[in-house]
Structure 1
Amino acid sequence: MFGRIRRRREQEFSEIQRKAHEDWLRMDGLVPPVVQMQAATEQPAEPAPVVDDFIPPELRVPSHDQLDGRVMPWPWPVVLEGEVVACAECGAYRDWLILSMHDQVWLRCRDGHQQHERRLDTAWFNRHSGPGDAIHATFEDCLRHLGHR
């Protein structure tokens, strides 16, 4: 009894598939009338005007290879490996300028003493620095901008 039911269902299903395939073949290549009307009334579009795709020179930001370095203020103590970094000459331990130049990181205290910090790298600098707010022609201009001497 169940075998007959299964065979009948298979025959009904295959008949439905056959009819759907025939309908699909009949409709192949037909275009709806609405699409035909739109295609007939469309005017050829004018070509788009050619514009310069580049940012104007006054809005361009120089790339990292066009800069001698980048500087950020760091008013807090620099703690590396559980140790507070202090200036080797005057002992200052806060209010640093951190300079990233040529894949090296330097610390500059308020008194103008600079020391190379080997435990910091450019990746650390990039993680902790924000976007630059100015570009300066000289290092002295940058120091004046940040309030250092």
Structure 2
Amino acid sequence: MFHRIRRRRQDPFLTEARRRLQEMWEMEQRMPWPPAPGPEAAASPSEAQVGAEPTEPVAEVDDFLPPELRVPSHDQVTGWMMPWPWPLVLDGEIVACAECGAYRDWIIMATRNQIWLRCRAGHQQQERRLDAAWFNRHSGPAADNTDFTFEDCLRHLGH
């Protein structure tokens, strides 16, 4: 067991690492540190202190986005929609409309942690196998359009 410790002490890599660590420690000990902030640390008024309070009030600037560039917050939005032109396959089966049998060209709606499917004919059905996490993964980046009514959103998506 002790022969391993002796070999480790003679390892050139570890010897060099110890030497560099010792040099860094000695250099840190020689470096002057700035005085601690406080009333006794102020040697002269001309020295700038880090974190000192400004003497003049700073003018407030309204840097918020203009209204036409703002995205509504989650509490202002009832739901989100996205087109899904492909067949929707869940658990190995293709989802079809319960009324007309359509299996592609869906509008997928997410509202109140529920997912609804709307076919081209206007029939809607809730899809319990999908959740908001699935919708967020597949919806992509933020919407390019914000519509305030359900009909405007459908019109924008081509339904």
Same-fold status (TM-score > 0.5): yes
User: Is 1:139 the equivalent of 2:150?
Assistant: yes
Aligned to 1:14: none
* Superposition deviation, residue 137 in structure 1: 1.7
| Structure with higher helix content | 1
Larger Rg: 1
SS at match of 1:115: strand
Q: Distance in 1 between matches of 2:91 and 2:33?
A: 72
SS at match of 1:137: coil
Q: 1:104 corresponds to which letter in structure 2? A: Q
Count of residues in correspondence between the two structures: 117
Unaligned runs of 5+ in 2: 1-25, 35-45, 48-55
Identity of aligned residues (%): 69
* Superposition deviation, residue 47 in structure 1: 6.8
Q: 1:146 corresponds to which letter in structure 2? A: L
Matches within 5 A, 1:73-84: 73-84=83-94
Distance verdict in 2 for CA 1:28–1:76, change over 3 Å: closer
Distance verdict in 2 for CA 1:90–1:28, change over 3 Å: closer
Q: Distance in 1 between matches of 2:84 and 2:152?
A: 18
* Superposition deviation, residue 82 in structure 1: 0.3
TM-score, normalisation: structure 1: 0.67
Matches within 5 A, 1:69-148: 69-130=79-140, 131-148=142-159
Higher alpha-carbon deviation: 63-72 or 115-124: 63-72
Higher alpha-carbon deviation: 126-135 or 115-124: 126-135
User: Is 1:53 the equivalent of 2:63?
Assistant: yes
Q: 1:107 corresponds to which letter in structure 2? A: L
Unaligned runs of 5+ in 1: 1-19, 30-38, 41-45
Over aligned residue pairs, what C-alpha RMSD do you find? 3.2
Q: Distance in 1 between matches of 2:155 and 2:149?
A: 10
